Structure 1
């Protein structure tokens, strides 16, 4: 058949228009609920520090401690590779990049903890700590010439369960009000709502954010928050429905991410302390539900933490490193690109695992993407969705420092702008 040859059809314009009209509400609903990934940089981790020990120097101090541990227990690529099971080629590239990261941007996302890490204190003490935290955060983010700072920074308040609700709301109020008094809510400010058990608690948090915006003349929706998944009720409600999806809806567009709470969730499932882990089947089930509920909504995912700390003898440190490294690699393979770190030594293996993940996959990903763009014949036939995933993978590697623009351009034949277009990101949104 040639282009000029007529074709035969049956459906009239009125039929097609009727179908479109019948699906108009569905179209609007899907567009509203599933806007897709926000197309901005996502931190590779969140570091938690108790509010009472947080200082303006927390970030560089963590970086310095991590560098000292790296130099003591894996001072060169060979020792580093032996500790983590890396090939010589990967170990050299990763070791150099980890050292540079720890020196210049050791923490990507910092959460100042007023919940489990801080505990129960007299009200006057927590009031004072919350006010000091606001002043310190504002000062840190104003210091352009300061030591390396996190890209994102904020607090984890106490939850909205009845026993601590008033305390949690008051700390949130003092912190946000203190930021406003110090110049306003900074870009990159993050709030974390823990131990959520019901969509109504998320709705209450959304109301608090809205009330604060109204009181201070802020743009509607300018304050968002993370939801921590730490209870069985947050995964499956008494009515048999997946609660996490309803919580995203209850946030009314303010939910930025879902964070899995390893130990609270495991304990709520009755898992013995010795078996509470990111690898437990109960954890995998919860995270799979989170992943499906968040897919396409623009709400991102973060895995939890390990309680195995790299401390003690050299053998103990290297064993803990290897354990953490393997957990992070496991999460990355399951599309959990962020997790919690609880000790400066975890920074070493966080970045080692992340950098090895992207460097090991660089050449095959770049080759597949180049073949897709050029429509070349190859062993793998990729579709547009896979091309988005491939370009997103390379962009994540660039964002965190695992990859360089020049090598990606050389291997894939694509600039960062072209990768952003394929991934559906706004230009240089990271």
Structure 2
């Protein structure tokens, strides 16, 4: 066959067959797009910090950073001592330590939740909710806010339902009166047991949007998983999957509540931890239910606080660091932090995770982007994972734009393109 000539191929099926099949699958195509839109592509914070509504103050974010820095100065004042506590390699010791300190000075908290549920002990919830709205609005105006901020209201169970609804109304109304809803606003609905409670939250947010003239769908919320019934319903179905659908596109996250969930299953207090088999089971179900929906999964917290003697602080740091690294390896990229002493090891674990795999991930993605060979055969799905890994590292401060560009030859826009391919692209090159 001459150069430039195209080989003729034979087919047996009429074109109408493909058209008929496409027509028959059109409802399925639409359902896939509706239920599984993929990750939103926005920044996911590496943690959520919980602060009781009666304790939240204008300087909370800065105060947590200062307390964390003071703990480092007292118990691990240099890179070598911090690395020795956590078992960091010599190669990682200096860059991780330097980035942790810089993070605590620049952005100590990525996501802050003012708590009006279990952690709240105040006597005037109306006043505290209004004050939280005022302080958060001021923080966003003057540039001292965390990237994400919001409240955890009380749940939709009968004894506290009205109180939770009122607190949410006061808080959101306060934000509106102070200039509008900030882009980083996050709301958390705790102790969800039935999908109908999620539906009730949707109706509540719809009512607020209508009352204030907001765009429909402006308000989203996290669903907190703290009961066994939220994982496995009475009929044997995965209730958490039904909750995501009941949210009608408003669910932004599934947050695992370590201690309430463990207690619900009868796990004794000494063994209530995020690495307990019961916790692993629940989070695996959450992860599968959320996959592809755009809803992100967050791990829970540890209640072992880094306080007291240096020995006790170091023990607590090692525990928290290990749990965080374990979660990252299982693709739980967010967790809860309950004390200023937790954030140095949160960032140390996150930074070490991204920096130790950075060069290999960058090289693999560069080879894929340039259609070059290598010792690993990567596909579009792997390129998506590699670019997502680099983007998460950039977002939290573990990696710098310049070093990623230098090793990959790619811009952030290029990375985002690989991280959010079209649905069909993931199956073109292989299974």
Is 1:361 aligned to residue 357 of structure 2? yes
Instruction: Write out aligned runs for 1:241-390 (5 A).
Output: 241-390=237-386
Cα deviation for residue 425 of structure 1 reads 8.3
2:65 aligns to what SS in structure 1? Answer: helix
Q: Provide TM-score, normalisation by structure 1.
A: 0.96
Residue 66 of structure 1 is matched in structure 2 by 68
Name the SS for the 2:357 alignment partner.
Answer: helix
Question: What do the CA deviations read for 1:68-103 (whole angstroms, capped 9, x no partner)?
Answer: 001111111100110000011101000000000000
Match of 1:227, SS state, is: strand
Q: Does residue 395 of structure 1 match 2:423?
A: no
In 1: Cα distance, 2:365 partner to 2:34 partner? 30
Between stretches 413-422 and 321-330, larger displacement belongs to 413-422
1:416 and 2:412 matched: yes
Can you list the C-alpha shifts for 1:139-171, whole angstroms capped at 9, x where unaligned?
111113xxx430000000000001111111111
User: What is the 5 A alignment of 1:29-428?
Assistant: 29-119=31-121, 122=123, 125-144=124-143, 148-424=144-420
**Counterpart Cα distance in 1 of 2:403 and 2:134:** 42
Unaligned stretches of 5+ in structure 2? 423-431
Aligned partners of 2:188 and 2:421: how far apart in 1?
25
Asked whether the equivalents of residues 206 and 254 of structure 1 are also in contact (C-alpha less than 8 Å), the reply is yes
Would you say the 8 A contact 2:136–2:145 is kept in 1?
no
- Between the aligned partners of 2:241 and 2:133, the Cα distance in structure 1 is 32
* Structure 1: gaps (5+ residues): none
1:180-218 superposed Cα distances (whole Å, 9 cap, x missing partner): 111111111110000000000000000000000001100
3-state DSSP of counterpart to 2:249: coil
Residue 129 of structure 1: how far off its partner (Å) = 1.0
Matched residue, 2:427 = none
Partner SS state of residue 48, structure 1? strand
Paired with 1:416 and 1:75, the residues of 2 have a C-alpha distance of: 35
Q: Distance in 1 between matches of 2:372 and 2:15?
A: 39
Q: Separation in 1 of the partners of 2:417 and 2:277?
A: 37
Deviation at 1:45, TM superposition (A): 0.3
1:310 and 1:300 map into 2 onto residues whose CA distance is 28
Structure 2 SS opposite 1:291: helix
CA–CA distance in 1 between the matches of 2:103 and 2:421?
A: 25
Q: Do the aligned residues in 2 keep the contact of 1:77 with 1:88 (CA within 8 Å)?
A: no
Single out whichever of 264-273 and 373-382 deviates more from structure 2.
373-382
Measure the CA separation in 1 of the matches of 2:6 and 2:410. 37
Q: 1:302–1:338: 8 Å Cα contact kept in structure 2?
A: yes
Deviation of 1:414 after TM superposition, in Å, equals 1.6
Name the CA distance, whole Å, in 2 between partners of 1:5 and 1:175.
68
